[in-house]
Amino acid sequence: MGLLIGTDEAGYGPNLGPLVVAATVWRTSTAMDCQDLYERLDDVVCRTPLPRTDQRKRLPVADSKQLYRPGSDWGHLERAVLAALSLTGGPVHNWTEVWPAVDRENAILPPLPWYTDFQISLPRDIAAADVDWWRTRLCESLPARGVELVGVLARVVFPEEFNRRVDATGSKGTLLSEATLQLISKCREFGAGDWVTIRCDKHGGRSRYGPLLQETFPEYLIEVVCEGREQSVYRWGPANERVEIGFVTGGEQFLPAALASMTAKYLRELAMFAFNQFWTCLLPGLRPTAGYPVDAKRFKEEIETTQRQLGIADDSLWRKR
């Protein structure tokens, strides 16, 4: 028995909205590396979108940037992410249920006006029956191939915490790495195996993760396998429960990291949808924003007067980096 874990983030670059880090955890009956999972599940999942007429043949699971463009519908994200959540914790029907589904310990959203009274039924852009169909298909197909999806987790860092932690560390790159490793540490609740393989997309230009790993897992001596521009790989743990983690350029090519990418993007899009709906209802004619620097500045200038009138502090809304 072994575990495959993949992580990825959404919202690292924007000034508005949360940073979301997600992880998916898979249990397999035989030793395998992350790259083998697409091959093992070849008749169930695929890496590219399918025509509408073929959407029940295979489930697209890939880097979220291949399956979603800002302003497009959420169909591909919802089909995979909501089916995965229903496998690991039960069906998700709305905004209120999605957050505890990915983080039972920190499920309470910050008391910000764009979240307080917001509600939306899920899925938004596909039929609930579509999610149910894929849940059943995965339930039948994964065990037959010696694979089980056991966890979908996320760590959501909202602007106030983001600013506080960047002030403390001096780097949003360090914040991303710390949040990712904290999430990986939580994955231990799914048990251990004869081996654990973890794949993460590289965190910006960082190549050295050893000190952060040693701080997160102080009970083990972290072995450096390699550190370079393309990948940085580390190992630790006893021989019967060996852990290997790789921070890899293009990490979303691994299925567990690809599903994590889709989960992080879906959660961030939900958060931004609530944020935009709040401000555009207050200010008719205001164009929504994805939160990235140039457009975020435009948006911030247009809401500034209303923001001051409502007494909303910049730190609750605007990320410093």
Type of residue numbered 172: K
The alpha carbon dihedral of 297, 166, 219, 209 has a sign of positive
Tell me whether residue 314 is in a domain.
no
Taking the whole predicted model, whether its pTM rises above 0.75 is answered as yes
In a 10 Å sphere around its CB, with 0-12 CB exposed, 13-18 middle and 19+ buried, how is residue 119 labelled? exposed
The phi and psi torsions of 262 (rounded to 5 degrees) equal -65, -40
CA separation for the pair 211, 1 (Å, rounded): 29
CATH classification of the domain holding 140: 3.30.420.10
CA separation for the pair 16, 145 (Å, rounded): 42
CA separation for the pair 99, 118 (Å, rounded): 13
pLDDT score of 33 = 67
CA separation for the pair 16, 221 (Å, rounded): 38
Tell me the residue ranges of DSSP E strands in 181-260.
Answer: 195-201, 223-227, 231-236, 242-248
Tell me whether residue 300 is in a domain.
no
The residue assigned the tokens 């489930």 is: 59
Tell me whether residue 197 is in a domain.
yes
Q: Cis peptide leading into 123, omega within 30 of 0?
A: yes
Q: What are residue 94's DSSP bridge partners?
A: 121
Tell me whether residue 296 is in a domain.
no
The answer to whether 268 and 154 are in contact (CB under 8 A) is: no
Q: Report which of 183, 199, 188 is spatially closest to residue 232, judged by C-alpha positions.
A: 199
Q: Report which of 142, 276, 52, 141 is spatially closest to residue 60, judged by C-alpha positions.
A: 52
Number of domains in the chain: 1
Tell me whether residue 282 is in a domain.
no
The phi and psi torsions of 38 (rounded to 5 degrees) equal -60, -40
CA separation for the pair 8, 256 (Å, rounded): 9
Q: Which domain holds residue 86?
A: 2-272
Cα separation values, 124 from 56, 70, 134, 273, Å: 18, 15, 16, 11
CA separation for the pair 50, 256 (Å, rounded): 20
- Write out 95-160 in H/E/C secondary structure: HHHHHHHHCCCCCCCCCCHHHHCCCCECCCCCCHHHHHHHHHHHHHHHHHCCEEEEEEEEEEECHH
Tell me whether residue 312 is in a domain.
no
Tell me whether residue 137 is in a domain.
yes
The answer to whether 266 and 74 are in contact (CB under 8 A) is: yes
Question: Which positions ≥6 away from 171 have C-beta within 8 Å?
Answer: none
pLDDT score of 251 = 81
H helical segments located in the chain: 36-40, 64-67, 75-88, 95-102, 113-116, 128-144, 159-169, 172-186, 210-216, 255-282, 293-310
Please report, in tens digits, the pLDDT of each residue of the chain (321 residues total). 789 999 999 999 999 999 999 999 999 987 676 778 999 999 999 998 877 777 788 999 999 999 998 888 999 999 999 999 999 988 999 999 999 999 988 777 899 999 999 999 999 999 999 999 999 999 999 999 999 999 999 999 999 999 999 999 888 999 999 999 999 999 877 776 678 999 998 887 889 999 999 999 999 999 999 999 999 999 998 888 889 999 999 888 899 999 999 999 999 999 999 999 999 999 999 999 999 999 999 999 999 999 999 999 999 999 988
Tell me whether residue 224 is in a domain.
yes
